[in-house]
Structure 1
Amino acid sequence: MDNEPTLWRFALGLWRDKNVERVCLRLQDDYGVPVATLLVALWLARGGRRPDAALGRRLSGHTERFEERYLRPLRAVRRRAAEDGAAELKRQIQEAELEGERLLLEQLAGLARTQPGEGTETALGWLLLVVPEVAQCEGLQALLEELAALSESRAASG
């Protein structure tokens, strides 16, 4: 993973694809899947890291705690400010939310560095590992498959 972009740079590059953004936000809003969990899974797959259940649980657990304590409250206040027409407040909260997401991804990258091994792994393998609820929901699996395909097509083209 030494020659790869940082997780944050990878996430920013991937987020430029409006289809990736759309699928990630649907997974977040419709199924409660944190975007950071999706991004770190795609980053690990891109780096050829073999899926590891224990690491997947640590990444998911850390993300869930961080989201619950910091990001969801910020997101709720940002949405409330938008509904109330408080554009400047919304913008400032959005900046804080983005900085929180950057810090979370930095922490996840640190946890992920413990995963050894190179190989050729698919994005879907990691996504299914970090989103275990997929077994109970066909719609969730379809979105994860779409996200994996988008990520892999971006990797192939650039």
Structure 2
Amino acid sequence: MAIYNSASFPPSQLWDFATKLYSSREVEEACLSLQDRRGLDVNLILFCIWVAASGRGILTEDEMTIGIDAGIIWQSQVVGPLRHVRRFLKGPIAPADGRLGAELARVVSESELYSEHMEIQILSEIVVRPATGSFDMQERGQEAATNLLVYLDRMIEDIDNEDRSALLVIWQESFPAANPKYTDLFYPLIAA
């Protein structure tokens, strides 16, 4: 029995995009690598890509700032603590009953996913302009790479090739017909 009903959320193109993209095992692994290794917010990564993929182009400075600030607060106060508890419950939890611990782990896991959905909802309300951009996949891919580059520049000191490789997996799943060598984000990786 689920505690939460996802029907309570309004329809969200960002949520639909994010869950479809994240359903790829390679994308999930790349996202978790960036989250665990660099402390990046997976929802912000998916948001940066979705804005461009949906035809909304490059995030403005204000949109990026609002998204990052909202993500930092939500991750530190809600998602992060739930993730910590979920990971803790994966190990032995003696003296607690194992069956009860497993049920608690399930509830916490559902709560964490619910909180991620809430963050996606928050992010989806930041960009209110309609999708009027180009339908060219290369152009949208370049805009997504620009959004990602701005996000990474604000969050980490030096973007390394491991970061670029993980982002490339996510980017290529989103823009399979686009060429990464035409982006500022992936060109250093491709040229190396």
**Change beyond 3 A, Cα 1:22–1:108:** same
**Change beyond 3 A, Cα 1:142–1:49:** same
* Residue in structure 2 matched with residue 88 of structure 1 by the alignment: 103
1:121 alignment partner, SS class: helix
Give the structure-1-normalised TM-score: 0.85
* Residue in structure 1 matched with residue 140 of structure 2 by the alignment: 121
**Change beyond 3 A, Cα 1:136–1:82:** same
* Residue in structure 1 matched with residue 159 of structure 2 by the alignment: 137
Alignment of 1:1-158 (within 5 A): 6-51=13-58, 52-84=60-92, 86-114=101-129, 118-119=133-134, 120-122=139-141, 123-132=144-153, 133=155, 136-138=158-160, 139-153=162-176
**Change beyond 3 A, Cα 1:135–1:149:** farther
Alignment gaps of 5+ in structure 2: 1-11, 94-100, 179-192
| Greater percentage in helix | 1
The 2-side partners of 1:88 and 1:154 are apart by: 43
Farther-moved stretch of structure 1 (117-126 vs 68-77)? 117-126
Counterpart residue type for residue 43 of structure 2: A
**Structure (1 or 2) with the larger CA radius of gyration:** 2
Counterpart residue type for residue 20 of structure 2: G
The Cα RMSD (Å) is 2.2
| Per-residue deviation, 1:150 | 2.4
Alpha-carbon contact 1:10-1:43 (below 8 Å) kept: yes
Alignment gaps of 5+ in structure 1: none
| Per-residue deviation, 1:56 | 1.4
Counterpart residue type for residue 148 of structure 1: W
